[in-house]
Amino acid sequence: MFILLSICTTQSFAIAVLEGTLIDKTSKKPVPGATIYVAALAKGTIADDKGYFSLSLPEDEYVISFSAVGYKTQVKQLDIVSNTTMVVEMEEDIKQIQEIVVRGKGIDENVKSVQMSRITLDLVNINKIPLVFGEADIIKAILLQPGISTVGEGAGGFNVRGGRVDQNLVLLDEAPIFNTSHLLGFFTNVNPDAVQEAALYKGNIPAAYGGRLSSLLLMQTKTGNADKLNITGGISTISSRLSVDGPLIKDKLTFLASGRVAYPNLILSLFPKIFNGSRAFFYDGNARLDFRLNDKNRLSLTGYTSYDDFKFPQDTLYGWQTHNATFQWKTLLRSNLAFSFHAIHSHYQFNTKGLQPQYAFLLSSIVRHQELKGQLSYTSGNHRLEAGASAIKYKLDPGSLKPSGDQSNINPFIARKEHALEYSAYISDEWTLSPVITLQAGLRYSAYQSRGPGNVYIYEADVPRREETIIDTVSYNGRKSIKSYGGWEPRVAVKIGLGAATSLKMSYNRTRQYLHLISNTTAISPVDFWKGSDLYVPPQVAEQGAIGIFRNFAGNTYATSVEAYYKTIQNMVEYRNGATLLLNPLLESDLLRAKGKAYGVELLVQKVEGKLTGQVGYTYSRSLTAVQTPFALNQVNGGAYYPSNFDRPHNLTISTQWKTGRGWTMGTNFVYTTGRPATYPDSKYILNNRTIIGYSRRNADRIPDYHRLDVSFSYDTRKVYAETQTTKKHYSVWVFSIYNMYARKNPYSIYFSNDNSRAQAYRLAVFGMFIPSITWNLYF
């Protein structure tokens, strides 16, 4: 979105503040992320997530143009002779709705903004992307972008620029989500119908955020319509959705309620034979209340819940759930000074139930996150300043095992609960130095304290940690400090304009991560658990530098970018061979410290206007790990760097949307990636008349490359109404899609069995056929 201002006369140099809010004319919802740009003065600012903007200008007469993707351009003439407040109503341009799948907020936002390494989703069209079972999915849409990958089809989480899945900070209304998956990774557990905006930062993470190394995914739920009741819903082959929003008190109180329930048992028969006899269920829900106290004060309360259970053919039931709540108060202290306050609660829990009577048990793990944070935003001239602070209280329950029946032979065990505090403060400034150069700099300081109660084992020095090397036990009572960490996290980015349609951008950031996901599986599993930093597990620290050139062609019809990055990571958690992780009272003895490095080049070409739109993305990247230990017994690959589990050097995605007319759009996705690393057997020997298979160096081999083609056809009745110049109170969007069009059996893994003294290889493919689906979306 752009606001173009041209100076007609210059009679006074007095400064006045122009501020206002941009809203959708129909729904009255804010239009966020506006770029306010004064061409003659070469200065500007960006509206916040509530559509609010503030800009200091010399008193004069201006012609102001308001434009946004999906909206008609508004042109107004204003005589700025004093501080001015305005509300701009943006009228939806229906003809543009189907044009984009994923892109920045403005047509040339990629060139003019100082921000780099950011992906912004167009949630209007996410339903039309051909995905498995036709289910709209935020993270699966992100996986079509350069620099984003996953370890395999249906795997939970995502990897960003060589980072692990736990190195992504995923926030919904500022509350963290510790497990982003439904159905063991096949779907994202946030319903896109309830989301107003979603943006992923692959680097150049704003100074306001920390706690993870690789990326930041920000999602904001929609605000309710201030004038009328809206109802949206959808039915697909795997789930049904319903969302309702509207006013409770006109011009004062609005609400949103959204829910999704799934019935995946109907499609589990399409999974490999090992899933036969499995059953699954999940649901999620969002709620939001927004209260307008007056022109300067707004309150909001949001809630989110999700639940999953999955039963394999064996007698084990896996379940996980998330419950989040966020309270926000936002106030305008002065025309150019705003303050916001958040109170956040996040609760994640997994449960594993053994169902056999003699071995009936309940295994559970819990992560609780409670946070208070405040932020000041100040706009003055060529500066946009932000400062803030936060305090987080963690309670981590790594695992507790209890018998769940009278006949159970299971012995109870409770791992030591962990308590911790994390504090942070930051300041940042976006400074337009000249019409050519914009600087964004921030400094963040974070501190972490592991606290009691609990016992900590002390081991002999200069020998591997083992039970037999324990020399003492230290007890920490109450909330006594066990170990403290902290450090500075600088963030800096610069944009250099090389013309109206070209810019060069550079960024550097350092991040710290105090929580670690403990898992020795390739993909996220239901029994992974979170652990805080302590005496033996220091925080992870990453540094990343990036440089990119951004260029648009043909009046911004084509947008291109090339970004290169290099990242180093210290204090990653690795595991010694044969490690026992779950319910291990001496967990630190099985953990190893590792370092990592990742580097790559990302190319993106987008066509954003016309009947045929889409993008081509290509990434060449490497992600390498080396275990840091002086003990030969614990070394992996002799201490040398080796490919991480998600090192996939080549990644190509091609996405298109072709508007064929009369409301029909054809979409395609083609995906190709290098096979992920694996460890294959390379020898055998006889021991006690038994054949033993030997394996190569860790991750020295690879499974075959992955590729697939998806196709979809969507029919949007809204497009028909636009062409005939008629309006309706409701409309439908039908989506017909085929996932894995040519039915390739892409291997998820290769496993081996010792058959007749030989190692026999077997492929496991999650989807070995094409999968058709149909989705009906209805809007009132």
From 391-395, 410-414, 705-709, the region with the lowest mean pLDDT: 410-414
| Parallel/antiparallel/unpaired status of strands 43-46 and 71-80 | unpaired
Q: What is the pLDDT of residue 170?
A: 96
Q: Residue 763's pLDDT band (boundaries 50, 70, 90)?
A: low
pLDDT > 60? residue 726: no
Reply yes or no: is the peptide bond before residue 357 cis, omega within 30 of 0: no
Q: What is the pLDDT of residue 9?
A: 34
3-state secondary structure 99-135: CCCECCCCCCHHHHCCCCCEEEECCCCHHHCCCHHHC
Residue the block writes with tokens 């309150």: 299
Helix/strand/coil for 413 = strand
DSSP class of 92: B
CATH topology of domain 109-779: Maltoporin; Chain A (2.40.170)
Q: What is the pLDDT of residue 6?
A: 33
Helix/strand/coil for 452 = coil
The single-letter code of the amino acid at 450 is S
DSSP class of 28: -
Of residues 719, 743, 723, 741, the one with CA closest to residue 731: 719
Q: What is the pLDDT of residue 244?
A: 95
Q: What is the pLDDT of residue 751?
A: 65
Q: What is the pLDDT of residue 746?
A: 87
Q: Residue 587's pLDDT band (boundaries 50, 70, 90)?
A: very high
To the nearest whole percent, how much of the chain has pLDDT over 90? Answer: 47
CA–CA dist 413, 512 (Å, integer): 32
CA–CA dist 317, 280 (Å, integer): 9
Do 102 and 119 form a contact (C-beta atoms < 8 A)?
yes
pLDDT tens, position by position, 522-546: 667 778 899 999 999 999 999 999 9
Q: What is the pLDDT of residue 54?
A: 72
Of residues 134, 173, 165, 131, the one with CA closest to residue 148: 165
Mean local confidence (pLDDT), 609-625: 94
pLDDT > 50? residue 5: no
Q: Give the chain's mean pLDDT.
A: 85
Q: What is the pLDDT of residue 710?
A: 93
pLDDT > 50? residue 101: no
To the nearest whole percent, how much of the chain has pLDDT over 70? Answer: 87
pLDDT tens, position by position, 450-496: 999 999 999 999 898 999 999 999 999 888 999 999 999 999 999 99
Do 290 and 224 form a contact (C-beta atoms < 8 A)?
yes
DSSP class of 30: B
pLDDT tens, position by position, 184-222: 778 889 998 899 889 999 999 999 999 999 999 999 999
pLDDT tens, position by position, 319-349: 999 999 999 999 989 888 999 999 999 999 9
Q: What is the pLDDT of residue 727?
A: 52
pLDDT > 50? residue 659: yes
Instruction: Please name the helix (run of DSSP H) or strand (run of DSSP E) that holds residue 10, with its range, or none.
Output: none
Q: Residue 1's pLDDT band (boundaries 50, 70, 90)?
A: very low
Of residues 247, 243, 349, 232, the one with CA closest to residue 286: 243
Q: Residue 668's pLDDT band (boundaries 50, 70, 90)?
A: very high
Mean local confidence (pLDDT), 219-236: 90
pLDDT > 80? residue 16: no
- HSE of 603 in the Cβ direction (CA atoms, 13 Å)? 9
Q: What is the pLDDT of residue 272?
A: 63
From 70-84, 414-428, 630-644, the region with the lowest mean pLDDT: 70-84
CA–CA dist 660, 406 (Å, integer): 65
Q: What is the pLDDT of residue 534?
A: 95
pLDDT > 70? residue 45: no
Mean local confidence (pLDDT), 238-258: 92
CA–CA dist 49, 559 (Å, integer): 24
CA–CA dist 343, 330 (Å, integer): 12
Domain coordinates in residue numbering, the chain: 2-92, 109-779
Do 561 and 156 form a contact (C-beta atoms < 8 A)?
no
Decide if domain 2-92 falls under CATH 1.10.645.10: no
Do 735 and 127 form a contact (C-beta atoms < 8 A)?
yes
Q: What is the pLDDT of residue 159?
A: 94
Instruction: Please name the helix (run of DSSP H) or strand (run of DSSP E) that holds residue 139, with its range, or none.
Output: helix 138-142
Q: What is the pLDDT of residue 210?
A: 95
* 3-state percent breakdown (helix, strand, coil) of the chain, nearest 5: 5, 60, 35
CA–CA dist 639, 778 (Å, integer): 57
